[in-house]
Structure 1
């Protein structure tokens, strides 16, 4: 499930950002300030050393509460394996029966079908979508989320999470089967593209994130998901963002004076992103990096 948490990475354009750096917003109420930082859940060693800016470190130092999607850093491997076994397998209805024959052949070329045929489509899609990222040198343990969870705990800062790992597994497990199958089919199709083609390959995601260039990050990923698989978009982004925005609204009324939210960059994009949702609720929202 570490890979599952990594994939759950989630439109305001880059206007207003003076320098190239990962995007950071400030949300203000009469009671509190909440900073919103869009992360990548897996980073290359070079990016892991480069992304923290003086402004982010200043905000981190001021924050009395740190928020993350889920506790990947503290996850117990056995508990993770149990979650996958409970929510991510379907031995009575293998992948080879759910996919079209042509898709099964593509899957067979990309993976050892005998080893993954028992998986549910969402679990296979997560695994396959992470392989190119990890094989390119990125590491989940180097991702911004785990790094800052570890740093916060070392500094005895209060850490809160929007979801448990089981919550995230259930998000996928509750998808309608057609949405699950389409998710896997889209991953297979993307992995079949020649290197250097396709929206996710034209501009490396990591560099777009480091540059704070949401115009490169957003349309190719969020927009594609919203158009091609609305059920997946609603489950993984829209409904979660709405729940998190409601939680943050309570924090703006009664929480700590300064809080820092670190969640996937895709959760910051579009009309359903956290900055837009909080602005729509009447709060002053400003991109500061």
Structure 2
């Protein structure tokens, strides 16, 4: 469970699923403590028309919330993303790109890019992790996933329509900076693993597994995804578990616990992978003495 899961963290693109009016999707928890309550919703950073409308409990909770807390607010100034790209996503001048690797490796990457209708020259200065992510985003797009239907974006729009304040638990800069923690050779391995997964079809299968589990609020399916993440020993798999999940879950839990002290009827919405597995945010909140109830 590799690139598709990382894309659940990074992607803004989203396979047509059957529409269901107000169906349960993802995972929803009710957190209580300090005389206050919070709904904690597990999102996909991607979307489809059939995902909406979301079921009434989360819609009502957002519309009546004292505040909506997101990992990042996608409606804020897009110039932030351009600046972060310059700082964290592009190779330094003189650093070799994929076109400077072995002829066999270059050919495989270029074939994957062309199949995805991406001009290799357009991504020549991207760091290897971003080339890998770009390829995966293109595969999602080929299945019909739409940036403007990202779940986090929809929640932010709902909150603003109801004049609910929106706050960020993290920043785009901090999220992108995590990928700089990978050494350059690890990043090349990351890209190689991604191309392998695309060539053998495993990436598309894993993509469908996680989307299907989220779209039907399938607890067993989401637990199976979490088990795959925890057992993945690839470079990208270990990075996902140790850095993108375990290392972030503690600070996220701390911020949510602090928010619960200050605000009643708050709503927090973060990627669903943070809400499942052994060291999930709900488990950490429970360990902090808060009452955690899984709604679905």
Same fold flag (TM > 0.5): yes
- Partner of residue 106, structure 1: 108
CA contact (8 A) 2:198 2:204 kept: no
Instruction: Report the Cα distance in structure 2 between the residues aligned to 1:247 and 1:123, rounded to whole angstroms.
Output: 28
Structure-2 separation of matches of 1:200 and 1:159? 32
Deviations 1:176-232 (A, max 9, x none): 3344233322221221123x887505x443222111124324544673365323234
2:80 — aligned with what? 79
Of 4, 9, 29, the residue aligned with 2:33 is: 29
Taking a change above 3 Å as real, the CA distance of residues 26 and 271 of structure 1, as seen in their structure-2 partners, is same
Distance 2:85 2:227 in 1: 25
Q: How many residues align?
A: 271
Mapped contact 2:99–2:124 kept (Cα < 8 A): no
Alignment partner for residue 175 of structure 1, among 175, 182, 191?
182
Counterpart selection for 1:43 from 42, 47, 58: 47
Deviations 1:45-82 (A, max 9, x none): 222x24x1112123223321111010212232x43223
Structure 2 spans left out of the alignment, 5+ residues: 1-5, 12-22, 114-118
Aligned partner of 1:264 in structure 2 is 271
The 5 A counterparts of 1:247-286 are 247-252=255-260, 254-286=261-293
Counterpart residue number, 1:65: 67
Is contact 1:9–1:39 with CA below 8 Å preserved after alignment? no
The change in CA–CA distance for 1:180 and 1:274 in structure 2 (over 3 A counts) is same
Cα 1:148/1:281, change in 2 over 3 Å: same
TM-aligned CA distance change 1:205 to 1:231, over 3 Å: closer
Q: How many angstroms does 1:106 deviate by?
A: 1.9
CA contact 2:62–2:155 (8 Å) conserved in 1? no
Partner of residue 231, structure 1: 239
Distance, in Å, in 1 between the alignment partners of 2:62 and 2:38 is 11
**Structure 1 residues 178 and 224 mapped into 2: Cα distance closer, same or farther (>3 Å)?**
farther
Cα pair distance change 1:168/1:222, threshold 3 Å: farther
Q: Does the 8 A contact of 1:21 with 1:211 survive in 2?
A: yes
Structure 1 runs of 4+ aligned residues shifted over 6 Å read none
Q: Distance in 2 between matches of 1:117 and 1:221?
A: 33
- The change in CA–CA distance for 1:116 and 1:198 in structure 2 (over 3 A counts) is closer
Residue 208, structure 1, aligned to residue 189, structure 2: no
The alpha-carbon distance between structure 1 residues 260 and 161, as it changes in their structure 2 partners (threshold 3 A), is same
Per-residue CA deviations over 1:79-137 (Å, capped at 9, x if unaligned) read 32232122111142233278665443321111143332211112112211111112221
Change (3 A) 1:239 1:119: same
CA contact (8 A) 2:73 2:166 kept: no
